[in-house]
Structure 1
């Protein structure tokens, strides 16, 4: 299904929701990372209309407020690894000593087995390069998670059907000793019934972290459909004790994948489902919930919602904002921009974008946007609190001679005071109208 059509098919009520947090493409396997006051979200990309886990690249998004997410495109793909054949599956990125290390599973062309590669970058948004030119570890299993303990010792865990770990060296691209198995006991990982080959609930997708001296392993449990369970331990290698369900089996995807962070004083649980139109087990979408640990450190059971996490603070419209910073989009897609970064494109009549919690303060007098059009253009309507809400301004976009031939347009604004959700509603003739790279309001 074309994602342009996907956006047009979204029900009107969906525009008030914020889960799933990305609507321009199908995303899966969330791996959040907190760095420098933002959450960077590393995901897989399910291809449109896929009938298998057809995944060719990884994507990055970021947010300072947990609701408006900026699309940073794809800084890592199968082509980054000369030895990779297929299957850009669930990975995780971490930061250490000025660099970002992204551990991903993919199929080794030479052996036909799943292997774990590692890519490195000086920036959380890439570009990433293959750090080794060959797999870091390979035993046919997948779904890496990486954890750096308080003493500086880093651990890489992965596995399906087993659970493995190695101690990473300080360079984060080599390890000491040999891969070791964590015993999958029913005391440690719960009891699965009906499958003598897999007596415990552990399936795949481990996510290991530490909180208040306790080690947590949150994982996709039982198959299929999966739920999210978790275990805790006094050490990073066990013994583990099964603690129960984080998220029951629900939604229209038969897999799930956890990611847990603390950010700006709150705790957040990332997962995926099949909630977008055309969504399902092979066309998934990442979502997030805010939660509070119980006093004894246990994780409460959570359900999937369409509301998502509450906004932290507000968005400043008086500094340049990327057009691909989106709380909810309908009909639009993104693409690499010739001026750098990404732009919003494939805009048709009636498409829209919501930016949540925009702090206009005493008021704005004008609005500017960086636009390009290979056709005759169209109009950007600036609306307040709803896609058909109060009209604050109308910016005409004329043809610029190319989809990457950029110019800046400006229009007057009225009624832009206080804090409101901002809707960009795009209007015009038939076909694609124009692209938008960035936007900014000016004070009255």
Structure 2
């Protein structure tokens, strides 16, 4: 009898294991990569042997609702540690709330955290602030006591100045790009908390929001959420390349399609331990019966590859994510 019970138990365990491996969302490192809370607008930062990932914490039902920013870390792209809330919009005396997209950057051993918030009634609309942090996981404090970029009153949108991306070139110069529908670029002063001159507007094909700047070799990349007005209802990710951060930018087409169950999609790119990764979000996660959607998104990641000319190869969004070898064909999320 004991032998039969042990055999039955062994078979049950094997069946359970087989079921878990068949369901790619249960595997370690598969997409979505965070399963304990809803996260959006991923922004990676590599420091030594650790990759940190910053995201907004989605809590909305009928609209976007994000009250804080969270940070996760990994050393192997499979196992992630939740490092908790790094900041809230209310940590800025001049902000009233709304934790929209952000990015952390390191310069000369100091960490600077750029974020989108809603300004208080003294200057209503979206604004970009900057905090200085003691480490990649904080603590952080408002570095200016005021917004770095106030909402652009020249446009009809009160969310013109959103989605900051920061890039430091080889000569140490910092650059800030941001914007919804209109894309702006400004040089940063060496202290990283002031603009060095007037912003310039960049014009790239089908740009909507969510810019991300990076460099590989001599080529600069501008990756962003795109849309063809009148033809698309959901954002895609497109990109352009240039010989310098100021351009001229050449449109290179669509990098990946729409996110599953989400109108928005937001890029983040990093090289970690010799391999390139593309981060984004979708609406595929369910937590305690609460289903993902465009206001409850979840961060995912895929391998990123380049062709012989340095152009990024199209990305298929998969459930397996980086558990696939580069070039492997996984199960599409959509």
TM-score under structure 1 length normalisation: 0.63
* Equivalent residue, structure 2, for 1:261: 270
* Equivalent residue, structure 2, for 1:217: 222
Once the two structures are TM-superposed, the CA of residue 224 in structure 1 deviates from its matched residue by 3.2
Alignment equivalent of 1:158, drawn from 171, 178, 198: 178
* Equivalent residue, structure 2, for 1:409: none
Distance 1:121 1:250, change over 3 A: closer
RMSD (Å), alpha carbons: 1.5
For residues 376-402 of structure 1, what are the alpha-carbon distances to aligned partners after superposition, in whole Å with 9 as ceiling and x for unaligned? Answer: xxxxxxxxxxxxxxxxxxxxxxxxxxx
* Equivalent residue, structure 2, for 1:233: 242
* Equivalent residue, structure 2, for 1:432: none
* 2: CA distance, partners of 1:130 / 1:180: 25
1:178 aligns with 2:178: no
1:106 aligns with 2:117: yes
* 1: CA distance, partners of 2:93 / 2:179: 23
Once the two structures are TM-superposed, the CA of residue 311 in structure 1 deviates from its matched residue by 8.9
1:128 aligns with 2:140: yes
What aligned pairs does 1:24-35 form with structure 2 within 5 A after superposition?
24-35=36-47
* Equivalent residue, structure 2, for 1:381: none
- Does structure 2 retain, via aligned residues, the 8 Å contact 1:114–1:141? yes
Runs of 4+ in 1 over 3 A off after TM superposition: none
Once the two structures are TM-superposed, the CA of residue 219 in structure 1 deviates from its matched residue by 0.2
Q: Secondary structure at the residue paired with 1:56?
A: strand
For residues 23-63 of structure 1, what are the alpha-carbon distances to aligned partners after superposition, in whole Å with 9 as ceiling and x for unaligned? Answer: 1000000000010111000111101x522111111110000
* Equivalent residue, structure 2, for 1:94: 105
> Aligned residue pairs: how many?
286
- Does structure 1 retain, via aligned residues, the 8 Å contact 2:42–2:280? yes
Stretches of structure 2 that go unaligned for 5 or more consecutive residues are 1-18, 153-159, 326-334
TM-score under structure 2 length normalisation: 0.83
Q: Secondary structure at the residue paired with 1:79?
A: helix
- Does structure 2 retain, via aligned residues, the 8 Å contact 1:292–1:300? yes
Alignment equivalent of 1:58, drawn from 58, 69, 74: 69
* 2: CA distance, partners of 1:16 / 1:122: 34
- Does structure 1 retain, via aligned residues, the 8 Å contact 2:259–2:281? no
Higher strand share: 1
Alignment equivalent of 2:87, drawn from 76, 95, 102: 76
Stretches of structure 1 that go unaligned for 5 or more consecutive residues are 1-10, 191-200, 313-444
1:37 aligns with 2:42: no
Once the two structures are TM-superposed, the CA of residue 158 in structure 1 deviates from its matched residue by 0.4
- Does structure 2 retain, via aligned residues, the 8 Å contact 1:66–1:311? no
Higher helix share: 2
* 1: CA distance, partners of 2:265 / 2:273: 25
- Does structure 2 retain, via aligned residues, the 8 Å contact 1:65–1:311? no
* 1: CA distance, partners of 2:265 / 2:313: 17
